[in-house]
Amino acid sequence: MKILLLGANGQVGFELARSLAPLGELVCASRDGKMPGGVACLAADLANPGSLAAALDSTQADVIVNAAAYTAVDRAEDEPHLAQRINAQALAEIGAHAAAHNALAVHFSTDYVFDGAGSRPYHENDATAPLGVYGRSKLDGENALRASGCDHLILRTAWVYAARGHNFLRTMLRLARDRDELRIVADQHGAPTPARLISAATAAVLAQHTDTREMQLGTYHLCAAGQCTWFDFAGAIFARAQAAGLIARVPRLVPISTAEYPTPARRPAYSVLDCSRIRDAFGLHLPNWRNGLDGVIGELAG
């Protein structure tokens, strides 16, 4: 099995590069043609149709895993055309290539396709209603992949973080070294999900990939188990980070409402995803978000 990994230098892509390697011949691609540490790889810029087409045509992969995305949620409000190009139009092109070459396309989407007005975990077939440009572009990307007619897996995830990259955990650790008090939103609910969990689950799913894959195609939710608020998550980060020696002290945490922390893009208030479908279909174990946090803190602590 030949696998093309797009976005191989991002948070999820970096972990996928390790988890997918044992499954076959893996070709890694990034926007600038470089992996972390400066190692050269294939260049594939989803903002550039020619670059993406060249990467797809030159690789002729059996499986195309797209971990590339426009993820600047607030900036997307000012750059809707770029977000749409990367998150939606590029997916139509990936889907068309996959359909023409009988390849499987694996794509990662987001909880932001929902409006967050619910009070129970979202199922895959619940009505979508994104609140901003980012969520709409990601939903359009999902629909473009479906409309292409290719074999596909769409994996929606949420609150992604890792030991590298730009994410909530790393921001909290940085701020803890400079501030005595932090005001953290306490009325948004989700499930913090490590990139390594996403990559491990994706590899486990693809390891089961066979010619009778039709029963396993479609859209799935993939997150850590349980739920919390950003305030809860910050508290857990600091408690574990201090115990691991990553920070000397824990700043005072003040819970605030979303209204007290306005942002250009609206966030869903409740975006917990029901992951029972992917657990049942592939026999996956998705640990509680606290266990995932322990793993990332342990990685940072060396």
Q: Residue 107 and residue 85: Cα distance in Å, rounded?
A: 15
Nearest CA to 221 among 123, 99, 299, 107?
123
Q: Residue 142 is encoded by which pair of tokens?
A: 């999902």
CB 161 within 8 A of CB 167: yes
* Distance from C-alpha of 187 to C-alpha of 99, rounded to nearest angstrom: 42
**How would you classify the pairing of strands 2-6 and 25-30?**
parallel
Q: Which two tokens stand for residue 222?
A: 């993939």
Say how far apart CA 197 and CA 135 lie, in whole Å: 22
Nearest-CA neighbor of 275 among 288, 266, 265, 290? 288
Catalytic residues: 134
DSSP annotation of 36 reads T
Which amino acid does the sequence have at 42? L
| DSSP codes joined into one string, 151-207 | EEEEEEE-SEE-SSSS-HHHHHHHHHTT-SEEEEE-S-EE--EEHHHHHHHHHHHHH
Q: Tell me, rounded to whole angstroms, the distance of Cα 176 from its chain centroid.
A: 25
* C-alpha span between 268 and 169 (Å, rounded): 19
CA 136 – CA 142 distance, rounded (Å): 10
Distance CA 225, CA 75 (A): 29
